[in-house]
Structure 1
Amino acid sequence: MPRKKKEEEVKQGAPEWMGTYGDMVTLLLCFFVLLFSMSSVDAQKFQAIIQSFNGSLGFLDGGKTLVEEQYIDKGLRNDKSIDQKQETENFNNLEKQIKDYLNNNGLDKDVSVMNESVGLLLRFQDNILFDSGKADLKSNSQKTLRYISTLLNKNEFKDKFIRIEGHTDNDPIRYNSKYPTNWELSVARSSNVVRFLVESTDIDPKRISASGYSEYHPVAPNDSPQNKAKNRRVDILILKTQFVKDEPTRLED
């Protein structure tokens, strides 16, 4: 009798090549996830990529939670580095210490402290630092500047750039051979503050600058004695790290 052919065995499940293919796709996915984790995310580009996938490959139908700004961009805006958070905390502490000192010494009405995005701004009305039409520092003002310098020489602020700006009102100076115009007076005042901080309080000269703006950067209209007094001032600005790159002096020399 002729032999019966052995029936071919039919294997159950997916073909064998599918296992290899699945492993390859998984490895590729892991590779791209690794690349993604090592890169910085641009929220707008990420949204554009997700939208391009939306519906085109038969999945991510709707995809609302992947493209809504509140889920992506908001998180990135709030994601500050540890250094930035520490710097913000340091500036908040500096603001508090200086305000406490001014309040305890009755100077809070003549010196303003403003914590701005670029740094901490100390605004001195000119009568606190100088006599009218002069640029020599008053002896009483030196005590305040010494206290501020001790704070700025601490480790958390020793690399911060300090900008000193002199300002005047629009009243022309009465005859004065030393300061013929407000330009010379504003520059002399800021320069003398810088000189005192460098020579008397050991502030590193590489991290400090002086500039004078005469009457051309007012903070109030020059239409009353009160407003003119506001414009006669010296501003001390302690810059945050991200704004130091715009300064002419390089701290890394």
Structure 2
Amino acid sequence: MAKKKKEEEVKQGAPEWMGTYGDMVTLLLCFFVLLFSMSSVDAQKFQAIIQSFNGSLGMLSGGTTIVDKEYIGKGLNDDKSIDQKQETENFNNLEKQIKEYLKNNGLDKDVFVMNESAGLLLRFQDNVLFDSGKADLKLKSKEILRYISTFLNKNEFKNKFIRIEGHTDNDPIRYNHKYPTNWELSVARASNVVRFLVENTGIDPKRISASGYSEYHPVAPNNSPENKAKNRRVDILILKNQFIKDEPIRLED
């Protein structure tokens, strides 16, 4: 009877494997504490990670999603490479300087500058660069393009690909033997901007292209004179490095 009672007492304790498991977990904890002590930790990122575990796996109380705080986005931005950070800073500075130039010259209502994910977009309403139904650059427009080219030829932008796009509204062009439809007009306008930049400002022709889209890429419905004016435009897009791979020309050639 005494032997049976002794066996029952043993069964009431923890299984033998729990001791080994506890030792292993303790060693792992010591290992990660050691790694932690030798690393530098961004307090904001660490806090964001801890917050994301709230309510998960039954470990902590609270919500189950990452807290929507500004510093989380900032932490992710901090993970960008040095080259990407520098590129972003360069594009921000270019946007600021061009906007200042346009404002000082009374062009800020006809030329729009937008810093997009693909790059910096300069949107010219057609009356800035061309007369109605024509594709010859105005004298004033050449001054603007020369100014912009001074930045495009700087070291921080000399390897950026430049896409020139011509667009029209959906009104059929008045009969013109030179431009029978909006297709020809949109292509001619984009091509003339490219030609001017290459021949007069020293832009490398390998890093620039021209496209004409006629009426088929509107930015507003063609249902009013004001909206149609918005669609008659030339877009100059200065691409960021990660989008150059989509272009037909390889700059490294």
SS in structure 1 of the partner of residue 109 of structure 2 = coil
**Structure 1: segments with no counterpart, 5+ residues:** 1-21, 38-49, 55-60
Correspondence for 2:162: 162
Q: Which runs of 4+ in 1 moved over 4 A?
A: 67-71, 73-76
Find out whether 1:62 has 2:89 as its counterpart.
no
Aligned positions of 1:1-253 closer than 5 A: 62=59, 69=66, 77-79=76-78, 80-253=80-253
Q: CA–CA distance in 2 between the matches of 1:208 and 1:64?
A: 56
Aligned letter for 1:108? D
Correspondence for 2:21: none
**Structure 2: segments with no counterpart, 5+ residues:** 1-23, 40-52
Question: Shift of residue 64 of structure 1?
Answer: 8.0
Question: Shift of residue 102 of structure 1?
Answer: 0.7
Sequence identity, in percent? 78
Aligned letter for 2:95? E
Q: CA–CA distance in 2 between the matches of 1:239 and 1:135?
A: 25
SS in structure 2 of the partner of residue 84 of structure 1 = helix
Aligned letter for 1:185? L
Q: 1:220 to 1:68 in 2, by over 3 A?
A: closer
Q: CA–CA distance in 2 between the matches of 1:220 and 1:159?
A: 32
The TM-score normalised by the length of structure 1 is 0.73
Residues 158-200 of structure 1: CA deviation (Å, up to 9, x unaligned): 1111100000000001111111100010000000000000010
Question: Shift of residue 78 of structure 1?
Answer: 2.6
Correspondence for 1:58: none
SS in structure 2 of the partner of residue 246 of structure 1 = coil
Q: CA–CA distance in 2 between the matches of 1:74 and 1:102?
A: 32
SS in structure 2 of the partner of residue 94 of structure 1 = helix
Residues 106-150 of structure 1: CA deviation (Å, up to 9, x unaligned): 111110111111111100010111111111111111000000000
Number of residues of Structure 1 aligned to a counterpart in Structure 2:
210
Larger Rg: 1
Q: CA–CA distance in 2 between the matches of 1:225 and 1:62?
A: 62
